Structure formats: structure tokens, C-alpha cells
Structure 1
């Protein structure tokens, strides 16, 4: 059986590691405790977090113990990494509500039974810190000159970096020290944008405890063009089915670029590499078969097998037969609202398919709007009750966005 380090490397998940040979040996010969942090800045995890969750699962399946740190304390400050402006300050109540949602979502991927994994909120130790004591015991080990060489701070200096954000690295490093001391946690893992913060924790443990700790970062989920994946017209691709429906989630992965499908299969599914390598041989229209595998597998992991199957069936009904399917995103309209007829742009606005009539006109003029699989030729088109077949009407926007309107 492969060392989990080799598995992560072969699947393209590894970005940077602090001590490659030592880490490989430790993961092969010992059961280690590691942690990944999740700051609850929103009420749901999104696809950007998902890759970290897959890594945690790989590690746990190899016999290692994960600690999921919910950043109830660090979120009070906000990580400046990757931000051009300071994060919005959140109340403790907002953070706690979000943290509770994170715990539920993480439990779908990680087995927390019988101490196989831990979930801890860093608010437990960060919110009650004595600031002067913290500065004397922890702050003394950090060089401002060195901190300013890290990209997470350099990129913010022109616009302004607040002192509260400057503390974030110290707080995350203190998390690692605390977990090292209390849980024998010797590894910190995270996205590649967390490299500087991870190094801060390793240095702090070396200075305070005189012992070695380790760090690994993972590939950020980006397209072949280097853009972050998981952005939709409605915003982030959320793991909460109330924010992104299983059908929308499935469709996102079904419609990834040809150049990205094999990479995504390696990074965010558990499909064996032998099978992925076979799919990589597909060319032309056959690549769609690989996309179907990707969409089904990722949706199954996030939403369960039943929802994945329903989303798959809805997509096949839609593309195969041209019929509206039960699990397609939908909205409702009353007979009174339709009246003697409703303009196609007003209908699309009501269904939240366009942000403005100007955008709707552009789409229609470019031939990108279809009603019941027939192209809309004019922005003056009126939709009448007879257009609703069995009280349902399907709007298609471009090649990928499908929406069902129910007449009630």
C-alpha cells in the first residue's frame, strides 16, 4: 500500500512541504496527529474548503488523526491572506452560528467517533488571552522584518494593513503551539496561501519547545488558466444545499473546461488513479464521459448518493430528451402575474436569471435565450399561459444554465 504522502503527491495535491524525507518517513511509520483550520467567515463551507476536506479524509484513511480547528477566535481578527481590503468585522454570535454549520458539514467527510478525529474551536484559548502576557510569551518570538517579507502582508501594505490583521499570524501560530503541547499535534496542513502562517507556527514550536513540527500545503483549486474554481454567476459554489442546490452543484462540475476535468478528478474525488488515467485517454466529445464521472463523484461526496443520482438523472433528462426535470433549479409565478402575457425579460428578472434588462437584451440579441428549447428572437416576446406545458416552462440561458418556471 502506498504511503499517504505518495498518494497526495501522485494526485497532484501537494504544493509545498517543510521536510519532505522526514515527513514521508513519519507518515509511513507512525500515526501522526495533524490539523487544518477553517475560519467560519460565512454560514457554509464552499468548494475552496472542499479540497482540504478531501486531504483530511486521505490522511485519516491512512490511519492518521485529524484535528479540525474551527476558528471562532481567529475569525474575530480576520486573515489578511489573499484580501485586498480588511475583512468585515463579525460579532461573536455570527461566528458561533457559522461555526456550528461548519461542524455539521465537516462530519460528512471525517469520522469523529471514538476519538478518531477531533473538532476544536480556537475561541477556547484565544478569547481569554491576557494580551500583555501573550506579547511577552509569544510576540517576542516574531520578527516584524521577516513577517513583512511574506506575500500575505506585502500585498496589503500599499492599501493599508491594520494592526489587528497583523496579529493573525501570531494567533494561528499559537494555535499550532497549543495543539502541539496538548494533543501531540506535529503537522499543520492547509492551502498553499497559508504557507507563511504554517511556517510561523513551526518556528514558534522550535523556539518555545525546542522540538520539530512539520507543514504541508496543498494545491489551490484553479482552472488551467490560473483562475480560482468554484465561482458561479450567483457567487461561491457552496456545500450547503440550501445555498447551492445539488443540481446546480452537479452542473458546475459537468460543465468544467476539458483541460480541467482530469485534474479535478485527481484532486477532489477518490476515483482510483488507474481509472482516471483511462479517462484521460478520452478525446473530443468522449471527454464528456469523464465530466459525468467527475460531477457524479463530487456531488455524491458532498450531498450523498441519492442526491447525486437525482442530479444525474435530471441532467440526462434535460440533455437527452430536452425535457424539464424535477431536480432542475426552479421558481414559481402566479397566473395573475402572467395575466394576458409577461415579457420574457421580466420573466427572467423574476427568475433571477439576469441582473438587469440590459443584460437580458444583450443575451437575446446574441441568440443566447431559449424558451422550451426554442430560441427567443425578440426582446418583445410575451410569454402567455399556453407556453406553460403542464404548468411548467423551461428557460435556457446560454449553453449551461437551465431554469424551470412553475405556474401556480
Structure 2
């Protein structure tokens, strides 16, 4: 234990002395702080926009109507032309040939051939891939038919019909389980942070081990310190450094909230609703899976770092575990919108993905406590197994130079 504490304090002090560590912490905190200004800036733009609309000099400007060519190809009620005249400045043509010529020559923006009171064909000089229907013309014909033509033989006025159409029907959803919106927000933020922690600090641990091996410092250390104390000291110092990083990010977000978001009533209500949904169980699940999951991956990174003979081999050695982290992140992010999917459920029990997947699933839906405990037990047992394997690999790899080593050789060497 004494050796562990010695390695732990040394590694942590070395990490805290690195400029790159402070730059990373400062940048992430500043990003969160800067992000808190977004609601304030948007509110400012909104207020400016409202002032411009109310400006008498600008509101007095009359917008020029779009010019179109109009062809009556069937029995059309006069009210249709009146409805179009409110929106467009149109010129009537005699046939489709004249209509097409005006559109092609760009004398008009488009041509409208009226087939009936409720049907029209719109001609454009060049339609885009997404153009299939002119929604503006469709809306004008629909409203005119409903309010001017269809009600003529009915004992109802156009205003009465408009009032009926404007009646809003609500069918809100009240979740008896977790709040899906709050769960999605928390899952997105926490999963992203956990992904960042595992990759950034994990690669740093692997590089640190490889450097010690590359400059032969490892040969001196193993003569006085046990491999288990060395690997656990590095892993635990990395975990503490990660927690410091999270606290710095939380501090940046908190300061941003005090400076900006607190003055935004809507954002304040959203944050209050999010905080109201967070329970002690949520915090325990997050901390449990984060601490054990991060330790699981850090042990793997440390073991991989001990297997390389030169620093230029690091990227190739770390590729498999890096890909596992990326896959875990992608699986979780792409299935959060469907938390009941079998993929996310399976991922929440697999050790490589459960640190990210189980928390996201737990936040999105009501997961039975027994499933959470089983998933955590599997992750914990897997971490213990990985710890023994990583220590063996570390012991074999630290003094192995020149010869190419793989995981199976490293494990077999200590048997």
C-alpha cells in the first residue's frame, strides 16, 4: 500500500505540473462558460428583431407582390381569382403555350393553370429535386374553397367556420416514469463527458507508461516498486485527474449560469425542471458506473502502453481499445431515442459498453433495480479480472524490449 501511495502521489503531481493538463481543463471550462452566453445573445437578437419590425419607417414599406401568369383551364369560381389577387400580381393568358413562354422568358415567377376550384398545376422555369407541390397555391385554393365556396349553401358564416378551424385540441402526455426530455439531456451530457474522460486520460496513461519504458526509467522503477503498485498508482492518479477536469467543467458551467442564464427566465425554468428530476439514485448510478468503468478502461490503456517498445508504436497499439470506446459511444448515442431497443439493453450489460449505455438507459426509462445491480456486478467482476490480467501484462511488458509482444504471450509468460 505504501508503494501504491508513493506512485499515486508522484503520478498525480506530474500530471498537475503538465501545461497540457491545464490547457485542456481551461479550454473545456471556457467552452462551457462561453456556451452559457448563447441564450443571452439569442434573446438580444430577438429583441432587436422586434424593434425593427415595429420601426415605422420599415413597416410602412409595401412588399412587392410576386408576379405570376394565370390560365383558367376549367370551370373556376370567380372567388379563386380574388383570393390569388390578394397574394399575387397576375397576368391572365389564353393558353398553355403563352403561359409556358412567359415562365421560360422569366416575365413571371411562375405560371398557374387552374383546372378547377381545388386543383391547379404550377409551372416553374426550373424545378429543384425537392419541388413536388406548391404549398402556397395549395393553401390559397384550400382556404378559398372552405371559406368562400363550400359554405355558400350552408347556414354558417366564414367567420364561424374560421373560429371552428382555430379550435386547438390538446392531448398531452404525462409520464408516470422518468421524464424523457430530462433523461435525454442528462444522458447526452454525461455520456459525452464519460467518452471524453476515457479517451483523453486513458491515452495519456498509456503514453506515460510507454515513455517510461522508452527512456529506460521503467528498469529502475521495477527494482524497487511492485508492478501492481505502479499500474494502480497510474490508474488512480488518472482517475483523480479526470475528476478534477469534471469539476473544472462544472465550475465553468456554474459561473456561466450565474452570469447569463440566471437572467433568462425560460432557461432558468428548464434548469430547475432538470434538477428537480435528478435523484440520489441517479447520482449513485452515474458515479458507480463512471468510477468502475473509467478504471476498467484505464487498466487496459496502461497494459497496452507497457507492451510497446517505442513511442511510435503507441497509436497502433491503442487502436483496438480506442475503437471499443468509440463503438460504445456511437451505440449509446444512436439508440438513446429508442431506449427500449434490444441493442441498448444488451449494451447496458456488456462491460465495454455498460458504463455509457446503462446510465443512458436508466435516465430514459424505468430500469428495474435488479438489472442495474446485475449490470454493475458484471462490470465490477470484469474490472477485477482485467486488473489481474493488466498487472500480468504490465509485469511482462515493462522489461520486454525489442521482441514483439501480444496479450496472449504476456499472460502466458507469467503462468
Shorter-chain TM-score above 0.5: no
| TM-score for both structures, normalised by structure 1 | 0.23
More strand by share: 1
| TM-score for both structures, normalised by structure 2 | 0.23
More helix by share: 2
For the pair shown, the structure with the greater C-alpha radius of gyration is 2
- Report 1 or 2 for greater relative contact order, CA contacts < 8 Å, sequence distance ≥ 6: 2
